[in-house]
Amino acid sequence: METVLSIKNISKRYGKIQAVNGLSLDVKKGQVFGILGPNGSGKTTTLSVILDLIRANSGSFQWFGHDPDKESRKRIGSVIESPNFFPYLSPVINLKIVADIKDLGYEDIDRVLMLTGLFERRNTRFKTFSFGMKQRLAVASALLGNPDVLILDEPTNGLDPQGIAHIRELILQIAGEGTTIIIASHLLDEIQKICSHVAVLNKGKKLFDGKVSEVLAISDSFELSATNIELLISTIKFHPAYLSLTPGAESIQVFFKDTVHPEELNRFFYQNGVILTHLSERKRSLEQHFLELLDNNK
């Protein structure tokens, strides 16, 4: 799969503050890649570096397999700050101004307004828009010219639940058309619902990166029961990944130090003469994994 963005050991310091610390990651074509972390973790600084808004102190990055240049920047759309358009002008006029700045024609304006659900309001003054509509117009401006990559910094920040749902649906729709999307957010729920891949940052360091589905596939624990609970308890302690257990009246909850799959666990007991009467997998949420990573990085 083609690598759209490759970051190699980027560091950025502001005085005594190490905003980004030796960050490396790759984003592949077609991914919805989330950069997740608490405030101050280095998310916006990272996006600013790869968009050439600020310079890193060290490290490098490439777009589409090459060092960044004018041509590669034309293939990237971004929304980094709060929507900022002329309040007394309509979306159409505002987008014409953006198109002029980007040296683009006007033929794409209707498409991006349709895509973002703003076509019916195309001649309404920007100042009458809700914050969610303003955010969608910012996305529309970033989509002018049909870029290969869309970069969004906290796209749902400050929105009400309806606005969050609209932006989420819009991102998924854009991704479904083949656009690679990079999102920085501190909202675990949104990353889990939108992204295919995630990198977790804290204090400028990368703590984890990989598929969201792989994180969610990690079992936090299993609830088990058998006719002979005592035999069940004594047997599970011989499992190579066994960590601990919590006994109950009719079942036990077992925790493992490594990934364990249900079929493997069932086979283990059968081979050791224990017939399970109940096996329930309790999967770890992205939030649990995230908090564990932060706790281990204190």
Q: Transcribe 192-248 into DSSP letters.
A: HHH-SEEEEEETTEEEEEEEHHHHHHSEEEEEEEES-HHHHHHHHTTSTTEEEEEE-
What residue type is assigned to position 255 of the chain?
Answer: F
CA–CA dist 215, 192 (Å, integer) = 10
pLDDT at 56 over 90: yes
Beta-sheet pairing, 242-247 with 252-256:
antiparallel
- What rounded mean pLDDT belongs to the chain? 89
pLDDT tens digits for range 269-295: 999 999 999 998 876 666 666 666 666
Query: pLDDT category, 87, cuts 50, 70, 90?
Result: very high
- Rounded average pLDDT over 178-196: 89
3-state secondary structure of 142: helix
Structure tokens at 222: 């299993």
Task: Based on the fold, state whether residues 140 and 270 are members of the same structural domain.
Answer: no
Query: pLDDT category, 14, cuts 50, 70, 90?
Result: very high
Task: Based on the fold, state whether residues 91 and 191 are members of the same structural domain.
Answer: yes
Structure tokens at 4: 């759209």
**Residue 90: what pLDDT?**
96
**Residue 298: what pLDDT?**
61
- Spatial strand order of the sheet with 3-14 comes to 17-28, 3-14, 58-63
Task: Based on the fold, state whether residues 161 and 47 are members of the same structural domain.
Answer: yes
pLDDT at 219 over 60: no
C-alpha distances in Å from residue 246, one per residue of 230, 270, 289? 13, 21, 21
Instruction: Residue 184: name the closest of 148, 209, 152, 207 by CA.
Output: 152
CA–CA dist 87, 252 (Å, integer) = 61
For residue 65, the tally of other CB atoms under 10 A from its CB is 11
CATH classification at residue 88: 3.40.50.300
**Residue 290: what pLDDT?**
66
Task: Based on the fold, state whether residues 149 and 266 are members of the same structural domain.
Answer: no
Task: Based on the fold, state whether residues 230 and 122 are members of the same structural domain.
Answer: no
Task: Based on the fold, state whether residues 119 and 203 are members of the same structural domain.
Answer: yes
Query: pLDDT category, 66, cuts 50, 70, 90?
Result: very high
- Cβ distance 250 to 235 under 8 Å? no
Task: Based on the fold, state whether residues 80 and 173 are members of the same structural domain.
Answer: yes
- Cβ distance 78 to 143 under 8 Å? no
Among the three residues 152, 181, 215, which one is the final residue of a domain in this structure? 215
Among the three residues 182, 215, 248, which one is the final residue of a domain in this structure? 215
Among the three residues 193, 215, 237, which one is the final residue of a domain in this structure? 215
The domain of 264 spans: 218-296
**Residue 271: what pLDDT?**
93
3-state secondary structure of 294: helix
pLDDT tens digits for range 102-156: 999 999 999 999 999 999 999 999 999 998 899 999 999 999 999 999 999 998 8
**Residue 292: what pLDDT?**
63
Task: Based on the fold, state whether residues 60 and 141 are members of the same structural domain.
Answer: yes
What is the number of domains present in the chain? 2
Task: Based on the fold, state whether residues 90 and 117 are members of the same structural domain.
Answer: yes
Task: Based on the fold, state whether residues 136 and 250 are members of the same structural domain.
Answer: no
Query: pLDDT category, 212, cuts 50, 70, 90?
Result: confident
Task: Based on the fold, state whether residues 207 and 233 are members of the same structural domain.
Answer: no
CATH classification at residue 287: 3.30.70
Query: pLDDT category, 259, cuts 50, 70, 90?
Result: confident
CA–CA dist 139, 128 (Å, integer) = 18
Residue count of the chain, please give it. Answer: 298
**Residue 295: what pLDDT?**
66
* Phi (first) and psi of residue 6, to 5 degrees: -130, 120
Task: Based on the fold, state whether residues 151 and 230 are members of the same structural domain.
Answer: no
